[in-house]
Amino acid sequence: MSGSPPPAGGFVRRVGLFQATAINMSQMCGIGPFVTIPLMVAVFGGPQAVIGFVAGAVLALCDGLVWAELGASMPGSGGSYVYLRQAFQYRTGRLMPFLFVWTAMLFIPLIMSTGVVGFVQYLGYLAPDLGQSAGDLIGLGVIALVVLLLWRGIEHIARITAVMWAVMIASVLLVIAAAASDFSPHLAFTYPSGAFDLTGNHFWPGFAGGLTIGIYDYLGYNTTAYMGAEIKDPGRTLPRSILFSILGIMAIYLLLQIGTLGVIDWHRMTDPHDIAATSVASAVLEKTWGRGAADVVTVLILVTAFASVFTGLLGGSRVPYDAARDRVFFRPYEKLHPRHRFPMLGLATMGVITAVGFLIGRHTDLATLIQLLTTVMVIVQALAQIIALTVLRRRQPELRRPYRMWLYPLPSILAFVGWCVIYGYADRNSPGRHPIEWSLAWLALGCVAFFVWARLEKVWPFGVKEISEEYKVLEVG
């Protein structure tokens, strides 16, 4: 087994390659594409919206290679927290890992909240008279059920996830098959005038908005990196689970997007009063195979949405655990369940924030919510982690690297540029919402919180700067 052994009384390495890939794919393919296809069409103004999913796939692949190298080298619980702690400890002590946990405790459950919003949105297809209050209560009930199911041992969760992964694959394949049975190339490949005008005022803002939606749909390829301490043979399993899940979902998304555009007129997807704007997959099934088939697949999509929230909270709840264990976050978060060995407070906290985010999303705009939470994660996680890869290659050249990034540093450069495009266009694509300003304000508040915490704990800059290179000295076990 490569990588670090779990701490005494801590996690147990029980998750293999198939289960790890299933966890990633379940998180990636949840409700995302079923609710964002109309959003992507609206951003681009036509069926050229496929560009957004392709661009998102390229960014996910490049960024996934960053995660693959870091995850294989440092397979601990917490993902980005571990990588940022190792890379930036030399100059800023524990500032960067603290800021990551600060932001992750917000953006991870908010991403999960969009899945619950989509769940209730598709439920509205089966129950057209579902009111706002009833939908709110159902969504909160779904979140409570997820937390209760996760209050179990990882060996049970792995089996549950494998079943839900199979349901997810069935739901998307049925939508793809239905679309193929009544596919119209005219609908899918007839573009409006100026659709590809690179010199116009619409294409690049639309591209940036589409890239944001696209990468949101692929988020989850890194879920198993947060569970590094629970992965069998992480030096091989983590990189493969990341790459396999991205390539698999890429193929599924392209077939799903093109197939949908070949059945449903894209103008319907921009009409908020049309069922194609809120439940486009159900609209595809209804038009091709009839209402009965649409109802069945809608149920499968609901299970898929549930699975994405399930796996997202499973991985995300591990983030504050490693931070607290290493004295970079509130200490109660390091406590594991005495029997099932999972972080209780992390799971409970993220469950509550998911519920709050769900209510916010229900009473605002889903596209704006996606823009806001994506912007929050860019600086501390995405950009800082890419820099961390280069820093660690220079600072710890002897670090054991079972996987090294292909074509380094080209993928990391492309990923850095892609994330900068998303961040730079955020305000323009969310007029009046100021996502850039809100993300900077949250980051500044996190810096204040860090200095208060550092003063109390007597660590840098108010104490000795501690350097720990534990992964550099690990041996194969």
Query: One digit per residue, pLDDT tens: the chain, 477 residues?
Result: 233 444 444 566 778 888 888 888 877 877 888 889 999 999 998 999 999 999 999 999 999 999 999 999 988 766 788 899 899 999 999 999 889 988 988 888 888 899 899 999 999 999 988 888 899 999 999 999 999 888 875 556 667 767 777 887 888 899 999 999 999 999 999 999 888 888 877 888 889 999 999 999 998 898 888 777 788 888 889 999 999 999 988 988 899 999 999 999 999 999 988 889 889 999 999 999 999 999 999 998 898 888 878 877 877 787 788 778 878 877 788 888 777 677 888 889 999 999 998 998 888 878 888 888 899 899 988 999 999 999 999 999 988 899 999 999 999 999 999 999 999 999 888 888 888 998 999 999 999 989 988 888 888 999 888 888 878 755 443
3-class DSSP state for residue 119? helix
Q: Residues, the chain, total?
A: 477
pLDDT of residue 164: 74
pLDDT of residue 155: 57
DSSP 323-377: HHHTTSS-GGGGPBPTTT--BHHHHHHHHHHHHHHHHHHHTS-HHHHHHHHHHHH
Q: Which residues pair with 15 in a beta bridge?
A: 231
Helices (H), 49-94: 50-73, 80-92
pLDDT of residue 457: 83
Please state, in angstroms and as integers, the Cα–Cα distance from residue 213 to each residue in 168, 218, 313, 366, 460, following that order.
20, 9, 21, 11, 38
Among the listed residues 16, 98, 205, the one whose alpha carbon sits nearest the alpha carbon of residue 446: 98
Please state, in angstroms and as integers, the Cα–Cα distance from residue 357 to each residue in 142, 143, 266, 272, following that order.
13, 11, 29, 22
Q: Residue 103 in contact with residue 446, Cβ under 8 Å? A: yes
Q: Residue 333 in contact with residue 324, Cβ under 8 Å? A: yes
Q: DSSP label at 5?
A: P
Among the listed residues 6, 5, 46, the one whose alpha carbon sits nearest the alpha carbon of residue 321: 6
Domains, the chain: 22-435 (1.20.1740.10)
- In this prediction the pTM is 0.85
Q: How far apart are CA 415 and CA 407, in angstroms?
A: 13
What b/e string do you get for 363-390 counting C-beta neighbours within 10 Å, with b at 16 or more? eeebbbbbbbbbbbbbbbbbbbbbbbbe
Among the listed residues 383, 361, 384, 385, the one whose alpha carbon sits nearest the alpha carbon of residue 373: 361
What tokens does 446 get?
A: 């996190």
Q: Residue 231 in contact with residue 238, Cβ under 8 Å? A: yes
Please state, in angstroms and as integers, the Cα–Cα distance from residue 60 to each residue in 18, 95, 184, following that order.
20, 27, 30
What tokens does 174 get?
A: 């049925």
pLDDT of residue 292: 94
pLDDT of residue 157: 64
Q: How far apart are CA 39 and CA 45, in angstroms?
A: 10
Token look-up 């209804």 returns 286
